[in-house]
Amino acid sequence: MFLLQSSTSFNWHNLLFGEEDWSFLPEVLLRSVIMFTVTVIALRLIGKRGIMQGVFEIVTIITLGSAAGDPMFYKKVGVLPAIFVFIAIVGMYRIINFFTSRVKFLERVIEGKNVRLLKDNRFAVENFKRVELGQDEIFSDLRMKGITHLGQVEAVYIEASGQLSIFFWPDEKVIYGLPLRPEIYEMKTKEIRLKAIYSCAYCANTKNIGPCKKHVCEICSKEEWVEALNANTG
Across 199-220, average pLDDT? 92
Across 75-100, average pLDDT? 83
The pairs formed by 127-134 with CB atoms below 8 angstroms and a separation of 24 or more are: 131/158, 133/158
89 DSSP β-pair partners? none
Domains and CATH numbers, the chain: 2-108 (no CATH), 115-227 (3.30.240.20)
Is 50 exceeded by the pLDDT of residue 4?
no
State residue 3's pLDDT score: 47
State residue 27's pLDDT score: 81
Read off the pLDDT of residues 151-171 as tens digits, 9 standing for 90 and up: 999 999 988 777 889 999 998
The confidence band for 1, taking pLDDT boundaries of 50, 70 and 90, is very low
**Residue type (1 letter), 182:** P
- The beta strand positions in the chain, using DSSP E, are 115-119, 122-123, 153-158, 164-168, 196-200, 206-209, 225-227
Note the pTM of the prediction, 2 decimals.
0.63
113 DSSP β-pair partners? none
CB 144 within 8 A of CB 175: no
Closest CA to 224 of 209, 132, 176, 156: 209
The per-residue b/e assignment along 148-187, b for 16 or more CB within 10 angstroms, e otherwise, is: bbbbbbbebbbebbeebebeebeeeebebbbbbeeebeee
State residue 16's pLDDT score: 64
- What would the DSSP string read from start to end of 132-179? T--HHHHHHHHHHTT--BGGGEEEEEE-TTS-EEEEEPPGGG---B-B
In the three-class reduction of DSSP (H, G, I as helix; E, B as strand; rest coil), residue 204 is classed as coil
Across 85-107, average pLDDT? 83
Is 80 exceeded by the pLDDT of residue 149?
yes
166 DSSP β-pair partners? 156
Read off the pLDDT of residues 12-67 as tens digits, 9 standing for 90 and up: 666 666 666 777 778 878 887 888 788 777 777 766 555 556 667 777 787 888 88
Read off the pLDDT of residues 99-147 as tens digits, 9 standing for 90 and up: 878 888 877 777 777 889 898 889 988 787 666 667 888 899 899 999 9
Closest CA to 39 of 95, 78, 87: 87
